[in-house]
Chains A and B, each alone.
Chain A
Amino acid sequence: MDAGLLQQMLLGALLGLSVYLPLRCGQLSLASPGFYAIGGTIAALLSTRLPALGGASATYPISSVLLEMGLAAALTGAIAAAIGSVVLRLRGIYLAIATIALVEILRVITLNLAITGGALGIFGIPQPFNGPEGYAFFTAALLALVCWLCDRLERTRPGLAMAAIRDDELAAASQGIDTAQIKLLAFVLSAVVAGITGVVAAHFLNSWNAKLGNFDASITTLAFVVLGGSRTWLGPVLGGLLLTALPEVLRPVGDLRLIVFGLVILLGPLLFPQGLISPERLQSLGRLWPGPKRLGRQAP
């Protein structure tokens, strides 16, 4: 398989996880592309404006990429905490609306500021790897790490509390769960994942502009989770991988790409309300599997 396509699929899976985290507690947030754009802009600005980060060697040092990721995580996390503490108090529909507005405001600002290069964006972002293979390895490691963290989360108290909030927020609150805190946690984690994904994407794409975090991107990433399922982390990963590969697989249809996405978003909730992967489905799969029951864990 083409390493460049694989890299894009891995980035898609990461973005899928970012949308999945708030949805796990029943909060529909469309803000992920906005935080992704912030991460990308940070990486693009730092790596092109600060020669000190470039180091002496021909390729851009990976330690600088990690530094950018750290900064992006801190900034997106802080923004998400500030916005989330206001918006998450409100009912579900307001969160979706507010996050759409957030993505649009960020897009308008990026489009108009001189430092972000206006409509053209920022070019010539330095490369830490010599080819897409290096990126794919790096991103695969990052994805594995985020998946592992999500898996831990699903089995521990905050993750179980998230599922409880999704199923019935009032009941969860009556059981002593601090619903506001848990929802905020999910929102911040989602922003951080999107932010660090943006850093990697900016280096990989070599240029960065306002178009990368627009409403289209919100729709695309939402489709990842709707197709894959939002109740376990495997769903969005699978959805992200599949739907990012889809345009390449369906290359002959070309212009139909977004129509196919639209169909997925329209028919997904009607035909598979749970998405392709749900804990129950994994469990029945686990029963078919002889030997150690790796997949057949209790549904959260």
Chain B
Amino acid sequence: MPTELIQLLLNGLSVGSMYALFALGYTLVFSVLGVINFSHGAVFTLGAYFTFLLIGGNVGSNGLLAGFQLPFALPFWLALVLAGLGSALVALVIERVAFQPLRQRGADPLLALITSLGAGVILVNLIQLLMGAESHAIPTSSLGNLPAALNIGGAMVRTVQVLLLAIAAALVVALTAWIEGSRSGKALQAVSEDPITAQLLGINSSRMIQVAFGLGGFLAGIAGGLVGLSVSIAGPYFGIGYGLKGLGVLVLGGLGSVPGAVLGGLIIGLAEACVPADFSGYKDAVSYGFLFLMLLIRPQGLLGRALPNKV
């Protein structure tokens, strides 16, 4: 295989694995509630900022917290896990504020789309208010003494990209094993099938919905920290872009399907890597192009199931 191809493939896969990680939480919430959680991109952003602060990053010269820096600097891995947990906590709060009241009232699920969007807008703008709109970078030196690049089959690949791929793969395997193999994972599947019947069978549906939100928030936070490490944190709004692109990932793979989110993420990552340099400005449109195409030919996505129209 020519080295350019290996390079392209690895670039695409590492970007795609981040899309997949991001889309996993997105799709988990969709599978249990049947609604898009628009605050997911904001939680992802939050994970990136948490990670940045915990490794001892300085806020910089803008925002109300200008010049703020934690008195300690954690190693990257610890910071990443804590950031994931912090994001999970925030996702749970969002569930409590923006989703639960509507669910208890039996309101139109489309309303949750609107309230979660509101929660996301508040979160992103709070970050901007506190930390300013500038971009930050998580230095790769926070990983310790790792070589900057690895030689894989003659192609030089950034170590960070290989790590991203490995972490994403490990998390996907763990999540799938949990969903398919454990009692609580089976309960989650039952709730996504039908929350009321699941409740009748003795499953605490509300609790499982919270589990989905918490897990989704954790995965989003981890993805945010990792993207911050491999690319940069391009200001408080960068997660919104991910949230929008992630819609393409979800629809491509199939809304609510966990393996679909992984497949969709990898496909879109690879497709973006294949966009020629002359048209790089159009890279952002790749995901939306797939989205439209899927809506046209197969709305349930590659791995989703078509739902009958229920009365």
Contacts and interface: CB of A to CB of B under 8 A. Distances in A.
Q: Which secondary structure dominates chain B's binding surface?
A: helix
Interface stretch (A102-110, A153-161, A241-249, A290-298): A102-110
Most buried by A among B105, B128, B281: B281
A266 interface: yes
B119 interface: yes
B19 interface: no
Nearest to A267: B118
A170 interface: yes
Interface residues of B, number: 46
B115 interface: yes
B115 A101 contact: no
Interface of chain A: mostly helix, strand, loop or mixed = helix
Most buried by B among A108, A265, A267: A265
B276 interface: no
Nearest to B108: A26
A115 interface: no
Interface string B295-311: 11001000000000101
Interface stretch (B165-173, B185-193, B243-251): B243-251
A90 B307 CA distance: 11
Interface in B7-40: 34-36
A87 interface: yes
Nearest to B94: A266
B291 interface: yes
Interface in A255-284: 255-256, 258-259, 261-270, 273
Interface in B77-123: 97-98, 101-102, 105, 107-111, 113-115, 117-123
Nearest to A170: B311
14 contacts: A28-B110, A93-B113, A94-B251, A96-B36, A101-B292, A105-B288, A105-B289, A108-B282, A108-B285, A108-B288, A222-B114, A265-B118, A267-B118, A268-B118
Given A108-B282, A263-B118, 5 more contacts: A219-B117, A259-B121, A262-B120, A262-B125, A269-B107
Interface of B: 34-36, 97-98, 101-102, 105, 107-111, 113-115, 117-123, 125-126, 128-129, 240, 244, 247-248, 251, 255, 281-282, 284-285, 288-289, 291-292, 295-296, 299, 309, 311
Interface of A: 26, 28, 86-87, 90, 92-94, 96-98, 100-102, 104-105, 108-109, 111-112, 170, 215, 219, 222, 226, 255-256, 258-259, 261-270, 273
